[in-house]
Amino acid sequence: MSAPKKLYIKTYGCQMNVYDSERMAEAMGGAGYVETRDVSDADMILLNTCHIREKAAEKVYSELGRFRELKDARPDLKIGVAGCVAQAEGEEIMRRQPLVDLVVGPQSYHRLPEMEARLAKGEKALDTDFPEEDKFEALKARPKARRGPTAFLTVQEGCDKFCAFCVVPYTRGSEVSRPAGRILEEASGLVERGVREITLLGQNVNAYHGVGPKGGDWSLARLIWALSEVDGLERIRFTTSHPNDMSDDLIEAHANCAKLMPYLHLPVQSGSDRILKRMNRKHTAQSYLDVIGRIRAARPDILLSGDFIVGFPEETDADFEDTLRLIEAVGYGTAYSFKYSTRPGTPAANRAQVDPSVADERLQRLQALLTRQQREVQQSMVGREVSVLFEKPGRQPGQMVGKSEYLHAVHVVAPDIRPGDIARVRISESGANSLAGVLI
Ligand code: SF4
């Protein structure tokens, strides 16, 4: 029996790319590949790319250039590009970088084994279709290994919102929700492999509308309630949401579904109605704050997370002050913030840009405010009891690290605790990005 071939996957970008990389590794498992962490040991290299930031494509080309030596030393080495840059650039990648053998978009990676087979015949392989067949169905049969206590599970892909700065609708296509029955099946399979917490993924996950096992239209809330019936699945999370799709039943699930964790990532991007309009976000600062108010009324201890863009074209000082005011009003437990990044092909790309030094200064002020809020929320945990799902050993002897229900990293000296255990912890200390505690 020949030795298994080695696959090296490098993943950029969002949690959905992390999920996709796991699926690609499983797909290639069927073609006789096992994963390696050592690129020099690989028979095949796959870059699973992200297209969300400026120069994303250029970064991929410079990374590919670094494989020149490896390829010269081993001409049978196969090099592939997957993900959103593959979808956006397609054939252009092979034209610009001839050492690339394979380019596959996010909707076609279940076809990787047959594409790899074509390479063996000396051909190149390109597939950036939006195929009819369900890739998840094609991947279902693949053997699956034991895994850690947390997992991502894609339930929805694509987006129909067309925010003026975003490439996702172009690289991931329009919104598609997976059938609820398949998701429940995959979730049960994950629990059998040791998973206790699942994060449901979608570019616009709360717009989920999948067909139910017996027909009918299931919302995300209905799916969450059904998942909460899966034995052994203790925690459920979801990301990424749009404020306009925070439905009453989803907010009610936050109030009453014990397995739905009190953590919500709800991007807003700006606090200025003028800029929100120019971004085509289809909501106002006040409507966003109203949604936050309804969520907090339903689950007062919920930890809120947000996304912000500063320096969006035409943003004035007054617009930026509106954003700071909104952040003060919400009080975020954590948040992600970026300078606007021009994305080719998006409506905002050709508008008047904000001076980069102004954008830098605004980002610093915004991040200082967000860091202050994050520290205050973390400090407010000291003395409180939380429930921690332990994931791995910490750096100190006998130390274990996990996440609380608010998604805070928590470390505890607990030599008898194992990955996958869930235990009550009293928080004793708040650090820069994590908490310390003692088992109760
Ligand atoms: S809702 Fe999110 S994924 Fe959809 S277009 Fe807007 S930013 Fe992009």
Q: CA 388 → CA 133, 264, 414, 418, distances in Å? A: 40, 17, 12, 12
Q: Position of tokens 């054939």?
A: 91
Which of 168, 172, 190 is closest to 26 using CA atoms? 190
Write down the pLDDT at residue 233: 98
In this predicted model, what pLDDT tens digit does every residue of 276-303 receive, in sequence order?
999 999 999 999 999 999 999 999 999 9
Say if residues 271 and 243 touch (Cβ distance below 8 Å).
no
H/E stretch holding 391: strand 385-393
Write down the pLDDT at residue 53: 62
Write down the pLDDT at residue 313: 97
Asked whether residue 264 carries a pLDDT value surpassing 60, the answer given is yes
In the numeric block, which tokens belong to residue 165?
Answer: 């700065």
For residue 240, cis peptide bond before it (omega within 30 degrees of 0): yes
d(Cα 186, Cα 142) in Å, to the nearest integer? 12
Q: For residue 214, report the distance from its CA to the centre of ligand 1, in Å.
A: 31
Say if residues 60 and 13 touch (Cβ distance below 8 Å).
no
In this predicted model, what pLDDT tens digit does every residue of 25-44 receive, in sequence order?
989 988 899 999 999 999 99
Write down the pLDDT at residue 131: 75
Q: What is the mean pLDDT of residues 169-186?
A: 93
Q: CA 349 → CA 116, 165, 275, 353, 432, distances in Å? A: 36, 7, 15, 9, 36
Asked whether residue 142 carries a pLDDT value surpassing 60, the answer given is no
Ligand 1 pocket, CB under 6 A: 159, 161-163, 166, 168-169, 203-204, 242
CATH annotation of 5-127: 3.40.50.12160
Reduced to 3 states (helix: H, G, I; strand: E, B; else coil), residue 398 is coil
What does the mean pLDDT of the chain come to? 94
Mutate to test the pocket of ligand 1, among 50, 165, 203, 240 (most ligand atoms within 8 A of CB): 203
In this predicted model, what pLDDT tens digit does every residue of 99-127 receive, in sequence order?
999 999 998 998 999 999 999 888 999 99
Number of H helices, E strands in the chain: 15, 21
In this structure, CATH architecture of domain 385-439: Beta Barrel (2.40)
- Residue at 150: amino acid letter: T
In the numeric block, which tokens belong to residue 330?
Answer: 């919400």
Which part of the chain is CATH 3.40.50.12160? Answer: 5-127
- Residue at 395: amino acid letter: R
Q: What is the mean pLDDT of residues 359-386?
A: 98
Asked whether residue 195 carries a pLDDT value surpassing 90, the answer given is yes
Please, is 202 exposed, middle or buried when counting C-beta atoms within 10 Å of its C-beta (0-12, 13-18, 19+)?
Answer: buried
d(Cα 330, Cα 88) in Å, to the nearest integer? 36
Which has more pLDDT, 362 or 58? 362
Say if residues 246 and 266 touch (Cβ distance below 8 Å).
yes
Which part of the chain is CATH 2.40.50.140? Answer: 385-439
Write down the pLDDT at residue 135: 78
355: confidence class by pLDDT, cuts 50, 70, 90: very high
What kind of fold does domain 145-261 have according to CATH?
Transcription Regulator spoIIAA (3.30.750)
Which of these ranges, 128-137, 172-181, 363-372, has the smallest mean pLDDT?
Answer: 128-137
Q: What is the mean pLDDT of residues 249-273?
A: 98
129: confidence class by pLDDT, cuts 50, 70, 90: confident
Minimum-distance ligand 1 atom for the alpha carbon of 167: 8
Q: Whose CA is nearest to atom 6 of ligand 1?
A: 163
144: confidence class by pLDDT, cuts 50, 70, 90: low
H/E stretch holding 63: helix 56-65
Number of CB atoms found within 10 A of residue 245's CB:
17
Write down the pLDDT at residue 143: 56
In this predicted model, what pLDDT tens digit does every residue of 67-111 receive, in sequence order?
999 999 999 999 999 999 998 889 999 999 999 999 999 989 989
DSSP 8-state code for residue 247? -
What is the share, in percent, of the chain residues with pLDDT greater than 90?
A: 84
Minimum-distance ligand 1 atom for the alpha carbon of 160: 4
Minimum-distance ligand 1 atom for the alpha carbon of 162: 5
d(Cα 123, Cα 115) in Å, to the nearest integer? 9
Angle of the 15-29 helix axis to the 112-120 helix axis, nearest 10: 60
Which part of the chain is CATH 3.30.750.210? Answer: 145-261
Write down the pLDDT at residue 2: 75
Mutate to test the pocket of ligand 1, among 14, 163, 174, 270 (most ligand atoms within 8 A of CB): 163
Q: Whose CA is nearest to atom 8 of ligand 1?
A: 166
Which of 179, 151, 182 is closest to 19 using CA atoms? 151
